[in-house]
Amino acid sequence: MLKVTDLTVHYGAIQALRGISFEVDQGEIITLIGSNGAGKTTTLHGISNIIRKSGGAVFFDGADISGLSPDRIVSAGLIQVPEGRRIFANLSVKDNLEMGAYTRRDRPAIRDDMENVFTLFPRLKERLRQVAGTLSGGEQQMLAMGRALMSKPRLLLLDEPSMGLAPILVDEIFSIIKRINETGTTILLVEQNAFKALGLASRGYILETGQVIKSGPAKELMKDDAVKAAYLGG
């Protein structure tokens, strides 16, 4: 479904990505693991064309989307949930969810999808008229994910969904990610909690200083001594 080849990104004179290549097959959960500054978020931004690429290409369903604008990439079904949630803090929960469907015109289907979001995130329905900025951190993460689902993603890019959340909420978010995948949405997950991410994913890629240094089935990576020492607490 997604093929990234030799993706290169510079921030001025600094080379943030050094020819990253990987693939995501339909129906998979793939995770990108790495320390802060390894290039995980930059990779997602390069895929979504939020930042300018220095080189390489991104293919979605066999089509080269490297030069498409971010809104056209969203319309194609490739949706990103950004790090830090980036909700519209001054708008209501309902308005945030409706903003997620801004590229769509199928009003009955939009209403159905909002009900599906409420099935996944019942607390959002309870807080539908509440100003989004007054939600708890966990509720804001749920809203960011719900807003993305309103765009009808075929491939969902999740950037650090557990960041800043209490452990019980982390478990809840990962359970919901699994449910989203089981309904047919392919997921590319960037996550600081490597143990949780590899426990959920089918395959993983380890990033270091803007390069993929190791990849393989998630279960094998969890047993790898170097991965355990660097990312899983030994």
Enter the CATH code of domain 2-77+153-231. 3.40.50.300
**What are the strands of the beta sheet with 29-33, ordered from one edge?**
78-81, 155-159, 186-190, 29-33, 203-208, 211-217
Task: Report the alpha-carbon distance of residue 191 to residue 171 in Å, rounded.
Answer: 13
| pLDDT interval class at 165 (50, 70, 90) | confident
What are the sequence ranges of the domains in the chain? 2-77+153-231, 89-152
Token output for 19: 């020819």
d(CA 177, CA 196): 11
Model pLDDT for residues 63-85, shown as the tens digit of each residue? 999 999 999 999 999 999 988 78
pLDDT tens digit sequence for 167-194: 889 999 999 999 999 999 999 999 989 9
Residue 107 has pLDDT above 60, yes or no: yes
